[in-house]
Every structure is written in structure tokens, then in C-alpha cells.
Amino acid sequence: MKSETIENRDTILKEKTSTLVAVIQAVPSLLVPLFALFFLAFALLYASSAIFEFIKPIISEGDLTGGLVKGLHMGVVALAVYELAQVVHQEYDKSGKPSDAIRRIRRGVTRFASIVFVALVLESLIMVIKYSQQDLAGFLYYPVAIIVSAALLLMSLGVFIKLSSSDTMEECT
């Protein structure tokens, strides 16, 4: 009598576990495309806003430089959000299972940090141009701080890539 109860309990537990595993495996196949689509939609909104921000100062004030600065700023944000959408989409292969975790993380972090690095450098260059046109040389320490931050990010990325390389990973194991 007790053995039948234990067998029934084990069967019920296995069914619940298999149901839970099926749900956990189904969620990424639904959420990953939704998140990728969400970020892609925002990237397209930012890109269209970049075009608008570029044209608006030119039409209203005839300020080509102001339009370039504003349009470039929004374009860089659009590029960063688009890159995030790509990273989210490529997070899982077609089967919905994670690929090689270390390689995937290295590729995603490298791509995203590269976009952030470019955005920081472009933002600092935009600030230098803006401050030099308005004779605000006293405010140039802001873009210098951004460039130093970008340099630290680039060095940190290099250390991350070196420490997560296959040679280093084999030495640790």
C-alpha cells in the first residue's frame, strides 16, 4: 500500500517537474522576440526623431551645426538601442536554448560596450564643438571627463576580453 502511494507521488512529482521545465523553456521563445521587437521599435523611433531633430533647427533658425549636433546625438542613441535589440535577439539560437555562455557574454558585452564607447566619444566631441562655438571654454572639463570615462571603459573592456579569453579560462580550470 505504501509503495503504491510513493510511486503515485513520484509520478505526480515528475509530471509537475516536466510541466515546469516546459514552461521555463517556452518563456524565452516568447519573451526574447518580444524584447527584441520592443527595443527595435524604440530604435526606429529614435532614428526618426534624429531626422526630425536634424531638420528642425535648419528650417526654423537656419542653424546647420545645431541640426547636426542634435541629429547626431539622437542618432547615436538610436544606434545604441538598435545594438541592444540585436544583442537580445541573438541571445538565444533558433531552438531557444542558450548557446555557449562565455562566448555569448563576451560577444554581447564587447558589442554593447563598443557602442557605449562610441556614444561617449561622440557626445564629448559634440560638447567640445558646442562650447567652442559659444566661447564657453571654462566648461571644457565636462567633455574631458567624458573622454577619460570612455578611455577607462575601453581599458576595462580590454581587461575583460583578456581575462575571459579561452587561454585564460583554460589556465583557471
Q: Is the pTM of this model over 0.85?
A: no
Three cell numbers, residue 74: 539622437
Percentages (nearest 5) of helix, strand, coil residues in the chain: 90, 0, 10
What does the pLDDT look like over 8-62, one tens digit per residue?
666 766 776 777 777 777 777 788 888 888 989 999 999 999 899 888 888 888 8
Candidate from 58-72, 92-106, 145-159 with smallest mean pLDDT? 92-106
Three cell numbers, residue 125: 566631441
Mean pLDDT of 63-67: 78
Please work out, in degrees rounded to the nearest 5, the angle formed at the alpha carbon of residue 36 by the alpha carbons of 35 and 37: 90
- Which has more pLDDT, 101 or 133? 133
DSSP string, 53-110: HHHHHHHHH--HHHHHHHHHHHHHHHHHHHHHHHHHHTTB-TTSSB--HHHHHHHHHH
Distance between CA atoms of residues 32 and 144, nearest Å: 38
Looking at the predicted structure, is the pLDDT value of residue 82 above 50?
yes
For 123, other C-beta atoms within 10 Å of its C-beta total 19
Can you give the pLDDT at residue 110? 84
